[in-house]
């Protein structure tokens, strides 16, 4: 049944494609752009550059400097950035485009599965882009759907961030409702074959979860196969043994922050991470955990953000909003609340290992809306003691390093033109990143 439905969607979209293309031409880079006047934080971590000029030709940054030192080409379309802060486009390394904040996963998977590719993922992608996020890692989605959406975005047919896709994650045992985005592995040969299948299909990275339930041979088979193809591997890491097993097998990044029942990370786990700190990245997705008590106890009004209503089709909006009516009754929320008192301690512990901090939000999980996720993670980093500049670099410079994308994450000549302009000073308050004035991705002005 499901296969038939999916096939139906493929057929419809193929037929509809030429019409859609005619109605809406793909987004194209302006030939020459100049962003003039604002304060530039370029991603390298040095002092900001006041009265900056950035010249973009096609999809590349051609020149960066101060007003008076860098000439604005006469043919350029000039965008004034006066009074604003200019930064590299944000990179969110942990998002889920197939979910948009609904509280009940099983209901979501049953009810909306046939609308992810055509309706849900494009909405999520657009929301992230307009929030200043120009690159994401999507870490878990049905293979054909996420690759199709990635390609439509890359061709400029729909607005969205550049998608680095894992497709389905690899896991020892998949719940039946999740089988399409969670592939089981049974033995090292099978692990190698499934990884190969994902790579051959065109994924950009591999994600493993519950790897403490895999044998080390299975996990090593996955990591070796991915690395041989030049792909990085990221590992879900709630449990201590997940981290141990991931580090042993040589994964490149670990996701999330500790488990509910544990007050902190044990010394041996921290020692293992410290040992690998030159090459290991950590994506805490920590704000998603603070978000529940914040929303319920402090600011329930955020559930009435007008973007939630305006971005979703009315019936889906009603369903999402209704699901969040009594968050305190959700089992998931109960569990999260128990984790909160231990989070700051775990964050400091993991930071003390010297592991490289990157930004990821779990955007799309209950109450964590794509239009409002990424800036919050940076805000929480700062609240937990990270300097504002380091927080910004965790969402720009360092993700680009993890992805081995030297053309992303910084504003400098030769880089791809992924640039955002925000109203305010993020070095004073990360809330400035909520106020996105302009978004440029790959030389295209989206906002
Ligand atoms: Zn996630």
pLDDT tens digits for range 318-363: 999 999 998 878 777 787 888 888 999 999 999 999 999 999 999 9
- Torsion angles phi and psi, residue 284, rounded to 5: -70, -20
Distance 168 CA to ligand 1 centre (A): 12
Distance 2 CA to ligand 1 centre (A): 24
Provide the mean pLDDT of the chain: 92
Task: Tell me whether strands 436-441 and 419-422 are parallel, antiparallel or unpaired.
Answer: antiparallel
Distance 137 CA to ligand 1 centre (A): 10
Give the residue-averaged pLDDT of 405-415. 98
> Side-chain half-sphere of 104: how many Cα atoms within 13 Å?
16
* Cβ contact 416:95 at 8 Å: no
Of 327, 417, 430, the closest CA to residue 373 belongs to 430
Domain ranges of the chain: 26-88+410-447, 90-408
End-to-end alpha-carbon separation of the chain, Å? Answer: 41
CATH 3.30.750.24 for domain 90-408, yes or no, is no
Fold: same for 26-88+410-447 and 90-408: no
Distance 256 CA to ligand 1 centre (A): 8
Distance 208 CA to ligand 1 centre (A): 11
Distance 362 CA to ligand 1 centre (A): 5
Distance 95 CA to ligand 1 centre (A): 6
**CATH class belonging to 26-88+410-447:** mainly beta
Whole-number pLDDT of residue 21: 39
Distance 358 CA to ligand 1 centre (A): 14
pLDDT tier, 8 (very low <50, low <70, confident <90, very high otherwise)? very low
Distance 30 CA to ligand 1 centre (A): 35
Distance 139 CA to ligand 1 centre (A): 6
Distance 254 CA to ligand 1 centre (A): 11
Q: For 108-131, write each residue's pLDDT tens digit.
A: 999 999 999 999 999 999 999 999
Longest dimension (CA), the chain: 65
Question: Rounded to whole angstroms, how far apart are CA atoms 19 and 62?
Answer: 36
- Using the predicted structure, report yes or no on whether residue 16 has a pLDDT greater than 70: no
- Using the predicted structure, report yes or no on whether residue 27 has a pLDDT greater than 70: yes
């Amino acid at each position: 049944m499901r296969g038939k439905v999916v096939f139906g969607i493929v057929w419809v979209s193929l037929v509809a494609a030429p019409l859609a293309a005619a109605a809406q031409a793909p987004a194209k880079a302006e030939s020459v752009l100049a962003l003039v006047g604002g304060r530039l934080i370029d991603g390298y971590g040095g002092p900001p550059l006041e009265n900056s000029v950035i010249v973009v030709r096609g999809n590349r940054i051609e020149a960066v400097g101060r007003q008076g030192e860098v000439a604005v080409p006469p043919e350029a379309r000039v965008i004034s950035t006066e009074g604003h802060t200019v930064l590299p486009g944000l990179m969110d390394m942990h998002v889920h485009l197939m979910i948009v904040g609904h509280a009940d996963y099983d209901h979501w998977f049953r009810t909306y599965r046939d609308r992810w590719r055509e309706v849900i993922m494009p909405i999520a992608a657009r929301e992230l882009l307009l929030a200043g996020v120009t690159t994401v890692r999507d870490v878990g989605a049905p293979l054909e759907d996420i690759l199709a959406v990635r390609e439509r975005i890359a061709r400029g047919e729909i607005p969205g961030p550049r998608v680095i896709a894992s497709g389905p994650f690899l896991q020892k045992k998949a719940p039946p409702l999740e089988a399409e985005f969670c592939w089981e592995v049974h033995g090292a040969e099978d692990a190698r074959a499934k990884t190969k299948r994902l790579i051959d299909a065109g994924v950009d990275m591999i994600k493993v979860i519950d790897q403490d339930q895999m044998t080390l041979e299975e996990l090593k088979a996955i990591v070796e196969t991915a690395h041989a193809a030049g792909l990085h591997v990221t590992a879900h890491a709630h449990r201590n043994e997940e981290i141990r097993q991931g580090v042993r097998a040589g994964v490149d990044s670990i996701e999330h922050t500790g488990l509910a029942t544990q007050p902190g990370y044990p010394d041996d786990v921290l020692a293992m991470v410290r040992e690998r700190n030159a090459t290991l990245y950590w994506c805490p997705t920590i704000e998603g955990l603070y978000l529940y008590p914040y929303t319920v106890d402090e600011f329930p009004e955020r559930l009435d953000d007008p973007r939630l209503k305006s971005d979703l089709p009315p019936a889906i909006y009603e369903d999402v909003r209704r699901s969040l009516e009594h968050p305190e009754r959700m089992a998931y929320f109960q569990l999260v609340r128990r984790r909160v008192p231990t989070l700051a301690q775990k964050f400091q512990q993991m930071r003390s290992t010297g592991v490289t901090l990157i930004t990821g939000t779990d955007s799309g999980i209950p109450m964590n809306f794509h239009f409002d996720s990424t800036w919050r993670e940076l805000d929480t980093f700062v609240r937990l003691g990270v300097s504002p500049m380091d927080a910004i670099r965790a969402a720009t410079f360092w993700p680009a390093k993890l992805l081995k994308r030297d053309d992303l994450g910084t504003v400098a000549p030769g880089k791809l033109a992924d640039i955002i302009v925000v109203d305010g000073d993020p070095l004073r308050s990360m809330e400035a990143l909520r106020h996105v004035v302009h978004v440029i991705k790959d030389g295209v002005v989206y906002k």
